[in-house]
């Protein structure tokens, strides 16, 4: 049942939605949904088994990163519009951004996996197919974190010292997991949907990227595809149990979580611009450094907030779960972050 409308548009002003119908008889629609959901969990298991990969055997294959090529494509790094004009400098910045892109995925997968394990308890004595789907999801996220740690070590060995990861995965997870499950699933669904879009729209079509870097996100994309389906199933399941009075607080939590993501992006963008200015073979003025930090933050907001919010599937799911007033509140809260990346 559609409750809300489209998620916040790029200018933060969603169009008027249809009215929410609160008179739905939940019992009458829950049973067939449950049956349909079980087959969707089963489909995730089937695909998960088919696309399963190993870090060394399938992804790394004794290769190293090629520093003659970019890591992150312009569609994500936004470096095609950068104040950096030389191709060498743009390539270096794409490698720094690409390093942070991988490390931030490792960061968010810490709390995603903890939440998936927590949600699996709801299925312990219930639908065993759903339970298996969540356990596979968790297993894959543990492997992805290991993959991102491995490639950070490989990149660190080939780049000058001084790079900093500004956020601690466990501290971030502690904060995120203190918020409502509805909000954590909303953030997770958003993140996992944009990983799909990033690969399909920007990474896969760019022939100029480092082959190993590209493969990391090819293999990641293959397993994330199932996660987005499970995210939606679990988010809708939790939503169906949430009293309307608590959804308002959950929406507040979702807004808080997106703000926390932005805090991480602000710190990492500053650190990455400073690192670039430290290792680039020329001196940069303070004004140039400030400009680079600002455009790096805009790129990170595009990668981690705006591109996900704009995803049609995320807009549709969120629109189903919130009221028009709640959608309006989300749109107003996110407007400053959406505007900066235009
Ligand atoms: Fe992942
Ligand atoms: Fe995932």
pLDDT, one tens digit per residue, over 232-291 is 999 999 999 999 889 999 999 999 999 999 999 999 999 999 999 999 999 999 999 999
Q: Which ligand gives the minimal distance to the CA of 44? A: 2
Q: How many structural domains comprise the chain?
A: 1
Q: From the CA of 141, how far away is ligand 1's center (Å)?
A: 5
Residue 339's pLDDT is 82
- Residue 15 is assigned to a structural domain of this protein: no
The model's pLDDT over 287-314, given as tens digits with 9 standing for 90+, comes to: 999 999 999 999 999 999 999 999 999 9
Q: From the CA of 8, how far away is ligand 1's center (Å)?
A: 26
Query: How many Cα atoms sit within 13 Å of 333 on the Cβ side?
Result: 20
Q: Which ligand gives the minimal distance to the CA of 148? A: 1
Q: From the CA of 282, how far away is ligand 2's center (Å)?
A: 40
- Residue 18 is assigned to a structural domain of this protein: no
- Residue 25 is assigned to a structural domain of this protein: no
- Residue 298 is assigned to a structural domain of this protein: yes
CATH number at residue 91: 1.10.620.20
How far apart (Å, rounded) are the C-alpha atoms in residues 193 and 225?
A: 8
Domain that holds residue 129: 33-340
90 Cβ neighbours under 8 A, 6+ residues apart: 70, 79, 80, 82, 84
How far apart (Å, rounded) are the C-alpha atoms in residues 49 and 45?
A: 6
Q: Which ligand gives the minimal distance to the CA of 145? A: 1
Question: Which residue is it, tokens 């959804």?
Answer: 247
- Residue 106 is assigned to a structural domain of this protein: yes
Q: From the CA of 109, how far away is ligand 2's center (Å)?
A: 7
Q: From the CA of 41, how far away is ligand 1's center (Å)?
A: 18
Residue 8 has pLDDT above 70, yes or no: no
Answer with the residue of higher pLDDT: 107 or 340.
107
Q: From the CA of 206, how far away is ligand 1's center (Å)?
A: 21
Q: Which ligand gives the minimal distance to the CA of 227? A: 2
| Cα-to-chain-centroid distance, residue 216 | 15
- Residue 9 is assigned to a structural domain of this protein: no
Q: From the CA of 278, how far away is ligand 2's center (Å)?
A: 34
Q: From the CA of 142, how far away is ligand 1's center (Å)?
A: 8
Residue 37's pLDDT is 87
Q: Which ligand gives the minimal distance to the CA of 230? A: 2
Give the 3-state secondary structure of residue 209: strand
Judging by beta carbons within 10 Å of its beta carbon (0-12, 13-18, 19+), is residue 295 exposed, middle or buried? buried
Q: From the CA of 143, how far away is ligand 1's center (Å)?
A: 8
Q: From the CA of 59, how far away is ligand 1's center (Å)?
A: 14
Q: From the CA of 130, how far away is ligand 1's center (Å)?
A: 19
Cβ-based neighbour number of residue 24 at 10 Å: 11
Q: From the CA of 128, how far away is ligand 1's center (Å)?
A: 23
For the chain, give the number of residues. Answer: 342
Which sign, positive or negative, has the C-alpha torsion 31, 37, 42, 43?
A: positive
Least confident segment among 33-42, 193-202, 311-320: 33-42
- Residue 24 is assigned to a structural domain of this protein: no
Q: From the CA of 27, how far away is ligand 2's center (Å)?
A: 31
The model's pLDDT over 91-100, given as tens digits with 9 standing for 90+, comes to: 999 999 999 9
- Residue 27 is assigned to a structural domain of this protein: no
């Amino acid at each position: 049942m559609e409750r809300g409308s489209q998620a916040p548009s790029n200018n933060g002003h969603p169009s008027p939605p249809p009215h929410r119908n609160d008179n739905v008889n939940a019992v009458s629609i829950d049973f067939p949904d449950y049956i349909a959901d079980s087959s969707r969990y089963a489909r995730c298991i089937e695909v998960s088994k088919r696309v399963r990969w190993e870090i060394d055997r399938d992804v790394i294959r004794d290769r190293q990163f090629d520093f003659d090529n970019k890591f992150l494509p312009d569609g994500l790094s936004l470096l095609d519009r950068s104040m950096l004009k030389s191709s060498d400098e743009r390539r270096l910045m794409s490698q720094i951004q690409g390093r942070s892109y991988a490390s931030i995925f490792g960061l968010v997968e810490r709390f995603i996996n903890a939440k998936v394990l927590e949600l699996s308890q709801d299925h312990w004595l219930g639908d065993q197919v759903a339970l298996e789907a969540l356990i596979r999801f968790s297993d894959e996220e543990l492997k992805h974190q290991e993959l991102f740690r491995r490639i950070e070590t490989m990149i660190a060995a080939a780049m000058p010292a001084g790079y900093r990861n500004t956020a601690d995965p466990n501290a971030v997870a502690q904060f995120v997991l203190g918020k409502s499950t509805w909000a954590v699933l909303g953030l997770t669904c958003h993140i996992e949907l944009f990983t799909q879009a990033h690969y399909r729209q920007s990474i896969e079509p760019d022939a100029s990227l480092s082959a190993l870097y590209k493969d990391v996100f090819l293999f990641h994309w293959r397993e994330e595809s199932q996660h987005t389906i499970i995210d939606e199933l679990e988010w809708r399941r939790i939503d169906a149990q949430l009293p309307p009075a608590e959804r308002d607080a959950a929406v507040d939590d979702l807004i808080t979580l997106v703000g926390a993501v932005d805090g991480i992006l602000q710190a990492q963008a500053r650190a990455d611009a400073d690192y670039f200015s430290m290792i680039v073979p020329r001196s940069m003025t303070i004004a140039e450094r400030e400009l680079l930090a600002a455009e790096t933050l805009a790129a990170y907001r595009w990668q981690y907030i705006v591109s996900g919010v704009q995803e049609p599937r995320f807009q549709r799911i969120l629109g189903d779960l919130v009221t028009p007033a709640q959608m309006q509140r989300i749109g107003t809260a996110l407007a400053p972050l959406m505007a900066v990346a235009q």
